[in-house]
Structure 1
Amino acid sequence: MDIPSSNLSFFLSRGSPFITASVKSSTSLSITTLHTILSLSPSNNKNTKYTLKLNNTQTWLIYTDSPIFLNTLGASQVTSKPFSGIIRVAALPHDNPNNVAVLDRFSSSYPSSGNATLEDPFRLVYQWKKEGSGDLLMLAHPLHVKLLSNNKTGNIAILHDFKYSSIDGDLVGVVGDSWKLQMNPIPVTWHSNKGLEKASYQEIVSVLSKDVQSLNSPIATASSYAYGKLIGRAARLALIAEEVSFPNVIPTIKEFLKKNIEPWLDGTFPGNAKIDNAWGNKYKPQVYALLSDFMNLDQQNAHYPRLRCFDLYRLHSWASGLTEFGDGRNQESTSEAVNAYYSAALVGLAYGDSRLVATGSTLLAMEILATQTWWHVKVEDNLHNKEFAKDNRIVGVLWSNKRDSALWWAAATCRECRVGIQVLPLLPITETLFSDAAYVKELVEWTLPSLSSQSWKGMTYALQGIYD
C-alpha cells in the first residue's frame, strides 16, 4: 500500500507479526498511540532497534535496516529525525522477554507479496516473495497448524512456544516462505456416504411417494433463495429414489425440474433479472456462469472475482465477501457455504470436469474443517472464551472480532434455529460436516430441552441419526 504524500510504502501480508514499511526518501516519521508511553529506549548501539513500553502492559519493538533516531513527543507520540529505509514494528507476545530473541532473529526478512494456490486436490500452497535477509517468520492460526502438521515434507518449522493470543485461538510462529496445507480427502457423492439399510427402504419409499405427489402444486414464490431451495429439494428426491431403487417417481420429478428450472435459464421467468438470452439454450455455460460468480477457475476471466466469499487465509467463507460491518466480516450459515462447494464438485462430476471436482472438493474440505474448528463448540473447547464455551455448543454468527450466540433473525434462546441454520440443507455431505459423533451427541442433548419451533425441530432430530 503506497502513501506517496508520506514517501511510505507498506507491505501488508496477512499473518505477519510485523508491520513493515519502506521509507523511500529521507522523511521524518511519527508514530502515535492511544496509550501513554512509559519508556522508549534504543536496544543496541547501532540505533537500529528500539523498545517501546506502554501503560497497557504492551511492549513494542521497532526495527530498522539503518540507524534511526527516535524520541518521544508528549505522552503518546514517537517522532524521528529524517530517515529512509525499512522500518518494522512488532508487539512482544504476552510481554514475554523470551520472545524478544525470536523477533530479533527474523526482523530482517519480510514478505513483499504472497500467493495462495490450489495446487493439487486437497492441498493449498502459500508462497511469499521474501525480501531482506534470513528466514521468514509468519503466524499460523490453529487450523493452519493442524494442516501443516499433516504435511511431513514441507520445509517449515513451527515455533510452538512463540504465539500471540487471538479470538481465533493462538497464532503460532512458523518459519518458512512456502507452506503446504494438506487436507485429508473427503467423499463427494450423489448418495449417502454410509448407505441405507434395506430394511428401511419401504418406509422411505412410502414417504417419498407422498413428497413427490406434493410436486403437483406450483411454486408460488419469486424469491431466488426460496425458489432454489424448492428446486434443490425436488432434485434430492430423485437421488433418494435412485438410492432406494424406486425409479417410478423419477419421471415426475424430472418433469417438475424441467418445467421450473428452464424459465430461469432461458429468460422467461417473470419479474426477475434474466441470465443473458444470447446464450440461448446452452445451459452448461449458464451453469458455469453461476459457479464462476463465487469460484472463478479462469484467471483470464475478469467478469468474476477469483473467490467471492472464500478467505484463503482463514480457510472459510464470509457471507458478504469483502464487505465489512462494525465487527468486521461475518458468517452465519456454514452449511450453506459447505453446500456451495459440494454442489460445485457435483457439477464437475456431472460434466466430467475433473478440475472443477478437485477445486470444489478442496474448498469443501477446508470449509468443513474451519466449521468444525470455529463453529462447533465442544465441551472441552479451548478456542473460545470459557463462559461462551460453557453455555454454547454451536456458534450463531462468527465475526472477525466477536462470536454471537444469536442469529440475524433469531434469538440465542432458539437453539434449534442455531442448529438448523448450521445443518440445512440436509444432504449426504452433512454426514461429513458432522462426522464427530461424540460432538453431535453433545450438540443434540444441548438443543433438545429447548425445542419449541416446529419448523426447525427436524434438523435436530436428523442429527440424532449420526450417533443413534
Structure 2
Amino acid sequence: MHSFKSKLESWKAKVEGRPPMPPPVPPHPNQSSSNASQAPPPVPPHPNQPNRPSAPVKGSILTPISRDEPLGQFARRKHPLTPPVDGDYAVPTNKFYTNMLLDNRTLPAWTHPYSVWWSQAQDYWGLAISQTTAEQRVFGPDPAQVPTQYYLNPAGIVSTLLGAREFAGNKVSVQPKQADHLSVTLDFAALNGSGTMSVPLTMGMGFVSAIYNNITPVIQSQVGIASANKLPCNAGLDKYELNLFNGVRWLVYTTGGANFRLENPNNFVCDGPFRGLVQVGSCPAACDQYFDSAAGAYASSASLEAGQTEDGSTGTYKIVYNIEGRSSSGKILAYALPHHVNAFSDACRSTMTPAKLDSTVMGPMVGCITQELEMCESLPRDVGFLPWARFHAQDDGQFGSGPYDDNLRQLMRSVAAEELQQDIKGQSCLDSMYFSGKGLDKFAFILLVTKLILNDDQLTKQGLEKLKDAFNVFATNHQQNPLVYDTTWKGLVSIAGVDGDPNADFGNSFFNDHHFHYGYFIHCAAVIALIDESYGGKWLEQNRAFVDNLVRDVANPSHDDPYFPVFRSFDWFSGHSWAKGLFLSGDGKDEESSSEDYHFAYGMKLWGKVCGDPAMEARGNLMIAIMNRSMNLYMLFADDNPIVPKQIHGNRVSGILFENKVDHATYFGLNPEYIQGIHMIPITPISSFIRSPEFVQQEWNSIVASIIDKVDDGWKGILKLNQALYDPKASLSFFASPSFKPQWLDPGMSRTWAIAYAGGISR
C-alpha cells in the first residue's frame, strides 16, 4: 500500500522527469511533388514578438485512450436525427459545420474569416460566402448604452457565391463527406447528373475553393459587382478582380484556361462546362502578391498534431493543412486568430503576411503563407489536487499541510464532519447528469481536504465509502436517466431526451454540454481513485473503463478509436470548447461557461495522472494552456484586453459567446450574478491559472462589489470564493465567519473546500 507521501513523491518525479511517452507520430506527408519550389514573397517581421523557437516534441500525445467498444451496460440506441454524411462513422456533433447537417441545412458554418452556407434563395443557388468587418457589427438592444448587452455580425450578406448554371431552380443536392473536427467537404451535384462542385471547408482557409467537374461555374454577388477585370498571374492560373458595390475587392483564381465574363452586376459566369479549380477570397489592400503565391493550392482537409517537451513544461500543437493543387509557393493562404499569433513558433511567425481580415467575435486574423499553424504553450504541470494560485504557486508535493493554523484546521474538521453527514446519494442521484455530477464532485472536494490537508483517516474513510456508493449508481448505469450508446452519431447520451424532449437535461441527449456534465464525474473519479489507492483499494481498476468512456465521449484524441468522434467539444482552432450540439443556431455554436470548460480539462488531466496515462495528462494540460490564452482574449475582459469592442468591454465577461455574436446573458436569466458567476463555477486550483488576480479584482471592483450584498443564495458563495483569486484573506473571513449561512452555498459547493482553498492560498 502506498502512502500519500510516496504518492506525492512519485508525482513530483513524473513532473521533473516524466516516463517515456508513446513513439512519435509519423511525419505529415509532403505535399504533391508537382508543387513548384518558388519561394513566396518575403514577409515583414512581426513587431514586439519574443523569440519562440519550436520546442522539441517528445512524442505524440494524441494516442488513443482505448479501442474497446463502449461498455455493455450502455444500451445501444439509434438517435432520432440522422447525419446526411457519406458513411457510418463517428460524426462530430459540436463543430463549425453542424448547421449543415440539420433540418434544411441552409444555416451558416463559420470557418473564419468567412461564413458560408448552402443558398437556396431565388436565383442564388450554391455556396454563399460572406466576410464581415468590425465596422458592420450591430450593438444592442440600445446601441447608445455602454456597455451594451450584445453585439452581432450581420448575417446573410452574399458577398460572393460559388454555383453553376446547372444548379438553377435549386436543381442541386448537397452531400457532406469526410466530416472531421477541423474540416468537412461539401459535394454539390446537379440533379440532371451532368457534374459536381466539391468544396472543402477548413478552419482558417484563406480562399473558398471549389473543384468543378463538368459543370458551368457561376460566381454571384447579391452585393453587386461594380467591375470585373482580368489581371496577370502565375503560369497555369487565370486571375480576376471583382470590385463590389460596397467597396470590397475579391479576387478570383481559376485553372484550366476557362473564360469568365461579367454577365450582369450579380453574375460573373464561365463560358461553358469546366473541369478545374475556382478560388475566391476577399483581398486586403496591397496583398495581391501574397494571394498570388498561394493561389492554385487548397487544403482538402486539416488535421491536428500535438506533443510536449521532455520536461513537460511546454506543449506544441499544429493545425496541419493537407494540401492539394499547385501554387507558386507550394503552400496555401491560411488565416490565424490572435491567440494563435501570440503563441506562434518562430517558424510559423515567419510565414505571416500583411493580409488581415476580421473574424466575427475573435478579433482580426492574420494571413499566413504556410502548410501549418504551429503554436507553443507553457503547461500548468504543477497545478494538482490541492489549493494553488498564481501568487502562491506550488505543486502538490510542496504543499504540505498548507498555511493553516490550529483554529482553522479545527474549523475545517468540524465543518467537514457536518457536511459529510449529508445524504450524498440523495444530493447526487438526480434526474440530471449535470446536477448529479456537481453533487458528487462537491463531496470529492471535501475528501481532498479531510485526507490531504487534515490527514483525518477516520473522517475520510467514512465519506469515501458513501461517495463510492453514490458514484457506483452511475458506474453501473442505474441512475434515474441512464446513459445509452448512440449508434448513429456515436456517443454516450442520457436516455431522457432520446425519445422525448430534446432539451431534457440541458440537451444532453442531443450532445449539448457533455464536457460540462461529464467533467464533474471525471474529477470526482480522480479524487476517489487517488484516496482509495492510498488505502490499498482497487477502485481505479474496477472503474477505469467507465470513466474512460466518459472521457472518450468528450475528448477522444484519435481516429484509431472509432466509437467516438475526435474531440467532440474542444475546438483546437478556436481555442476552447463549444457546448451546443445537434441544435440549429443562426449565430452558430456557443458556450456560456468558460470555467466548466476548463474544469473538464482539469479533471481529465488529474484522471490521467492517477491512471498513469501521461498522454492524457499532457492533453489536459495543453487544452488548459490554450484556453488560458483564448479565454482571456474572447471571454474574459481585463483592462488590457486588446480584442473586445469597447462597447461591451465593461461587461467583463462575454456571457454567451457564439460564433457570430457575444451576448452578456445566460440561458437561465439576466441577473448579473448569473452572468458573471457562470464563468467562475467551480472554483478549483486551476481557476487561478485562467483567471488572473488583476482580472478578478477589476471584475470585482466594476461589477461584483455593487451586487454582492444583494445576493442571498448560492451565487453569493461562488462570487466570494472567486474573490480568493485576488484577495484570499477577505474570502476566507467570509467563509470562516460564525455568521456564515448555508444558503450561500451553491448545490455543487462545500464550505469545507471554500475554507481550505481560500486559507491555502492566503499570503
Structure 1 and Structure 2 fold alike (TM over 0.5): yes
| Structure 1 residue 159 corresponds to structure 2 residue 352 | yes
* Structure 1 residue 272: Cα displacement: 2.4
- Within the candidate set 320, 333, 337, 1:141 is matched to 337
* Structure 1 residue 384: Cα displacement: 1.7
Aligned to 2:678: 421
- Within the candidate set 277, 283, 307, 1:92 is matched to 283
Aligned to 2:3: none
Contact kept in structure 1, 2:633 and 2:642, CA below 8 Å: no
| Structure 1 residue 465 corresponds to structure 2 residue 724 | yes
* Structure 1 residue 260: Cα displacement: 1.1
Aligned to 1:17: 206
Q: How do 1:348-387 residues align onto structure 2 when only pairs under 5 Å count?
A: 348-387=608-647
| Structure 1 residue 237 corresponds to structure 2 residue 446 | yes
* Structure 1 residue 137: Cα displacement: 2.0
Equivalent residue letter for 1:137: L
Contact kept in structure 2, 1:444 and 1:463, CA below 8 Å: no
Aligned to 1:442: 698
In structure 2, the CA distance between the partners of 1:222 and 1:315, relative to structure 1 (3 Å rule), is same
Per-residue Cα deviation, 1:132-188 (whole angstroms, up to 9, x for no partner): 13232211000010111xx23x35524353211123111101222133211101134
Quote the Cα distance in structure 1 between the aligned partners of 2:372 and 2:405: 50
| Structure 1 residue 177 corresponds to structure 2 residue 374 | no
Deviates more, 1:31-40 or 1:204-213: 204-213
Classify the secondary structure of the residue corresponding to 1:12. Answer: strand
Contact kept in structure 1, 2:230 and 2:239, CA below 8 Å: yes
Aligned to 2:189: 4
Q: How do 1:149-228 residues align onto structure 2 when only pairs under 5 Å count?
A: 151-152=345-346, 154=347, 157-159=350-352, 161-166=354-359, 167-186=361-380, 187-193=382-388, 194=392, 195=399, 198-200=403-405, 202-218=407-423, 219-220=426-427, 221-228=430-437
Q: How do 1:279-298 residues align onto structure 2 when only pairs under 5 Å count?
A: 282-298=542-558
Quote the Cα distance in structure 2 between the aligned partners of 1:237 and 1:299: 38
Q: How do 1:62-81 residues align onto structure 2 when only pairs under 5 Å count?
A: 62-81=252-271
Contact kept in structure 2, 1:205 and 1:244, CA below 8 Å: no
Per-residue Cα deviation, 1:209-228 (whole angstroms, up to 9, x for no partner): 22432332321533222121
Q: How do 1:210-359 residues align onto structure 2 when only pairs under 5 Å count?
A: 210-218=415-423, 219-220=426-427, 221-247=430-456, 248-269=458-479, 271-273=480-482, 282-321=542-581, 323-359=583-619
* Structure 1 residue 117: Cα displacement: 1.9
Quote the Cα distance in structure 2 between the aligned partners of 1:228 and 1:355: 25
Contact kept in structure 2, 1:188 and 1:361, CA below 8 Å: no
Classify the secondary structure of the residue corresponding to 1:216. Answer: coil
Contact kept in structure 2, 1:311 and 1:317, CA below 8 Å: yes
Per-residue Cα deviation, 1:58-95 (whole angstroms, up to 9, x for no partner): 111111123332222333122111233211111122xx
What is the alpha-carbon root mean square deviation over aligned residues? 2.3
Structure 1 residue runs of 4+, over 6 Å off?
Answer: none
Tell me the TM-score normalised to structure 2 length: 0.56
Quote the Cα distance in structure 1 between the aligned partners of 2:369 and 2:700: 41
Tell me the TM-score normalised to structure 1 length: 0.90
Quote the Cα distance in structure 2 between the aligned partners of 1:179 and 1:360: 20
Equivalent residue letter for 1:145: V
Equivalent residue letter for 2:698: E
* Structure 1 residue 197: Cα displacement: 5.1
Deviates more, 1:35-44 or 1:283-292: 35-44
In structure 2, the CA distance between the partners of 1:178 and 1:267, relative to structure 1 (3 Å rule), is closer
In structure 2, the CA distance between the partners of 1:15 and 1:298, relative to structure 1 (3 Å rule), is closer
Quote the Cα distance in structure 2 between the aligned partners of 1:160 and 1:111: 18
Classify the secondary structure of the residue corresponding to 1:39. Answer: strand
Per-residue Cα deviation, 1:351-396 (whole angstroms, up to 9, x for no partner): 111121112222222223222221111223331222111x311110
Contact kept in structure 2, 1:158 and 1:172, CA below 8 Å: no
Quote the Cα distance in structure 1 between the aligned partners of 2:403 and 2:638: 34
* Structure 1 residue 323: Cα displacement: 4.6
* Structure 1 residue 440: Cα displacement: 1.5
Quote the Cα distance in structure 2 between the aligned partners of 1:16 and 1:406: 31
In structure 2, the CA distance between the partners of 1:314 and 1:354, relative to structure 1 (3 Å rule), is same
Per-residue Cα deviation, 1:3-39 (whole angstroms, up to 9, x for no partner): 23243222322211111112233x3211222212211
Quote the Cα distance in structure 1 between the aligned partners of 2:603 and 2:260: 57
* Structure 1 residue 450: Cα displacement: 2.6
| Structure 1 residue 104 corresponds to structure 2 residue 292 | yes
| Structure 1 residue 408 corresponds to structure 2 residue 593 | no
Quote the Cα distance in structure 2 between the aligned partners of 1:42 and 1:339: 54
Quote the Cα distance in structure 2 between the aligned partners of 1:237 and 1:202: 18
In structure 2, the CA distance between the partners of 1:431 and 1:69, relative to structure 1 (3 Å rule), is same
Quote the Cα distance in structure 2 between the aligned partners of 1:297 and 1:19: 28
Quote the Cα distance in structure 1 between the aligned partners of 2:225 and 2:627: 42
Aligned to 1:48: 238
Contact kept in structure 2, 1:19 and 1:90, CA below 8 Å: yes
Contact kept in structure 2, 1:136 and 1:176, CA below 8 Å: yes
Paired residues, what number?
A: 452
Contact kept in structure 1, 2:683 and 2:722, CA below 8 Å: no
| Structure 1 residue 396 corresponds to structure 2 residue 655 | yes
Equivalent residue letter for 2:461: P
Quote the Cα distance in structure 2 between the aligned partners of 1:80 and 1:201: 83
Contact kept in structure 1, 2:633 and 2:644, CA below 8 Å: no
Q: Unpaired segments of 5 or more residues in structure 1?
A: none
Equivalent residue letter for 2:593: S
Aligned to 2:126: none
Classify the secondary structure of the residue corresponding to 1:282. Answer: helix
Contact kept in structure 2, 1:157 and 1:175, CA below 8 Å: no
Quote the Cα distance in structure 2 between the aligned partners of 1:428 and 1:401: 32
Classify the secondary structure of the residue corresponding to 1:114. Answer: strand
Contact kept in structure 1, 2:595 and 2:679, CA below 8 Å: yes
Quote the Cα distance in structure 1 between the aligned partners of 2:298 and 2:467: 54
Per-residue Cα deviation, 1:112-139 (whole angstroms, up to 9, x for no partner): 2221122336221222222313232211
Q: Unpaired segments of 5 or more residues in structure 2?
A: 1-185, 393-398, 486-540, 728-763
Equivalent residue letter for 1:180: E
Question: Which structure would you say has the larger RCO, counting Cα contacts within 8 Å and 6 or more residues apart?
Answer: 2
Q: Give % identity.
A: 23
